[in-house]
Amino acid sequence: MASVVEYKGLKDGYHCGYCDSEEGKVSCGMWAHSLTVQDYQDLIDRGWRRSGKYVYKPVMNQTCCPQYTIRCLSLQFQPSKSHKKVLKKMSKFLAKGEISKGNCDDEPMEPTMEDAVAGDVALINKLDIQCDLKTLKESLEGEEKKKGKSSKKAESNEVIQSQDTEEKLGPGEPSHSIEVHTVPKPGKGADLSKPPCRKAKEIRKERKRLKLMQQNPAGEFEGFQAQREPLSLFPPKAKSNQPKSLEDLLFESLPENAPHKLEVRVVRSSPPSSQFKATMLESYQVYKRYQMVIHKQPPDKPTVSQFTRFLCSSPLEAEHPPNAPDCGYGSFHQQYWLDGKIIAVGVIDILPHCVSSVYLYYDPDYSFLSLGVYSALREIAFTRQLHEKTPELSYYYMGFYIHSCPKMKYKGHYRPSDLLCPETYVWVPIEQCLPSLENSKYCRFNQDPDAVDEGRSKEPDRLQVFHKRAVMPYGVYRRQRKAPAEEAAVLQYAGLVGQACSERMLLFRS
């Protein structure tokens, strides 16, 4: 299994969705017919990023808004005060139905997927002739036209079907119901013949731990689910002098009569699993409302075709090596189900060393829950969970950090985090990068003036070419073709992907 890519070269002078410049954006791009997860891991570690099957890399020293790859060190992450505030807001809503009256001005908002690759949309549309989900897309479009009075019934059947299939994977979230602890009547003093009193929180945690152990006597969880809480996250005794962990805050016990229930389900989007197919129409409706309300798009613009092309199609191959997470590697949708309906979807890639966030869309009716921040915290916790099975997987990639764009600076609040040096491709703690970014949009973060890109292309003749159904080194292809004009583009491609990827990936040439 090899990656097959088609390099499209440099695109400049087009609209930027971050600063609204009409001609300031500059990037290089390629169409990925297929990508192994290791190749994509290596590409994003060199500043590439995907939108559907189109993979692009900003030309950092030329583009109007330099976009630096950012990763969070999930194992060392501690939620900030503002993060805790969002988690508390969600907990109060689930437990009591309370709706916060605070504004959501700090809510992160990515540009539309089309804005992210603005100048290449026409190219993507042209290349996307053989979409993996074409048949599914057509059936959905037909289904939407027929949608009438029976829509509610169809949606309820979809949810039930999805829940039935998910049960085969294991329930989405440990039950929040718990036996209510009755407070004893005040006595005349401590009875030394009885065990010492414990805090109610410790008793609740112990009961929950016992309940989980009864449900899983061997400590094993069948299947896979994002919401699953590892038993190791519940130590027998919580030290009061230590701050609550992210998991403690996320999975706080709720009362039996809680008015709301939240479940998080992970479904493979490419190739589409049965759960994904069963819920895709409902997921699309959430995306459509998000684009119309949050990004002010007209009703006819967020089509099923657009949704499929940018958020469902993926070049990543589904891989299940022995050391991989239970779900395997590849592209997934992380669905947030509130009381039986989808309210948000996080599009993610699970790679050998990281969980990479692609996009988030949510139902605007639930903006008060700050779902952008909440989903990022859930994805960090998810990364930590996957790390337990796959130790090499420990980073949470948040896409691009754009210091010059106020709406995109929120990504720097997830600490500790690193930015990728655009010249040497080494990771540098963000604290060391910020002073330089205050003075200049474009910066080389590596302070060693003699450091170079260790993964650079050194032997371009070893680059692999796929031409006329044959695979050959570029050196052989070049001697056969003798086309000097083509050589510049191939060498540019080799320099951008690096030596290792150029030798593994197949560069398609017509």
pLDDT in tens, 447-501: 999 999 999 999 999 999 999 999 999 999 999 887 887 999 999 999 999 999 9
Q: Which of 503, 504, 502, 417 is nearest to 7 (CA)?
A: 502
Percent of the chain predicted with pLDDT > 90: 69
Mean pLDDT of 150-159: 36
Per-position DSSP letters for 80-133, written without gaps between them: -HHHHHHHHHHHHHHHH-----S--TT---PPPHHHHTGGGHHHHHHHTTS-TT
Work out the pLDDT band at 134, boundaries 50, 70, 90: very low
Find out whether 289 and 125 touch, Cβ atoms under 8 Å: no
Structure tokens, 203: 């008793």
Upper half-sphere CA count for residue 254 (Cβ side, 13 Å): 22
Q: With 0-12 CB in 10 A as exposed, 13-18 as middle and 19+ as buried, what is 36?
A: buried
pLDDT in tens, 362-381: 999 999 999 999 999 999 99
CA distances from 253 to 92, 95, 242, 385 (A): 11, 9, 19, 19
Q: Taking phi first (over 0 means left), then psi (-120 to 50 degrees means alpha), and beta for anything else, what does residue 296 get? A: left
Find out whether 77 and 380 touch, Cβ atoms under 8 Å: yes
Q: Which of 361, 338, 360, 210 is nearest to 285 (CA)?
A: 361
Round to whole Å and give the CA distance between 104 and 373.
10
DSSP H or E run through 345: strand 341-350
Q: Residues with Cβ < 8 Å from 159, sequence gap 6 or more?
A: 279, 282, 337, 340, 341
* pTM flag (> 0.85): no
| Number of neighbouring beta carbons within 10 Å of residue 368 | 15
Q: Residues with Cβ < 8 Å from 310, sequence gap 6 or more?
A: 51, 52, 113, 114, 359
Structure tokens, 477: 């292809």
- What is the Cα Rg of the chain in Å? 25
Round to whole Å and give the CA distance between 38 and 353.
9
Q: Which of 311, 363, 309 is nearest to 332 (CA)?
A: 311
Round to whole Å and give the CA distance between 417 and 376.
14
Mean pLDDT of the chain: 83
| Number of neighbouring beta carbons within 10 Å of residue 182 | 6
Stretch among 205-214, 279-288, 316-325 having the lowest mean pLDDT: 205-214
Round to whole Å and give the CA distance between 507 and 70.
27
DSSP tag of 319: B
pLDDT in tens, 253-301: 999 999 999 999 999 999 999 999 999 999 999 999 999 999 999 999 9
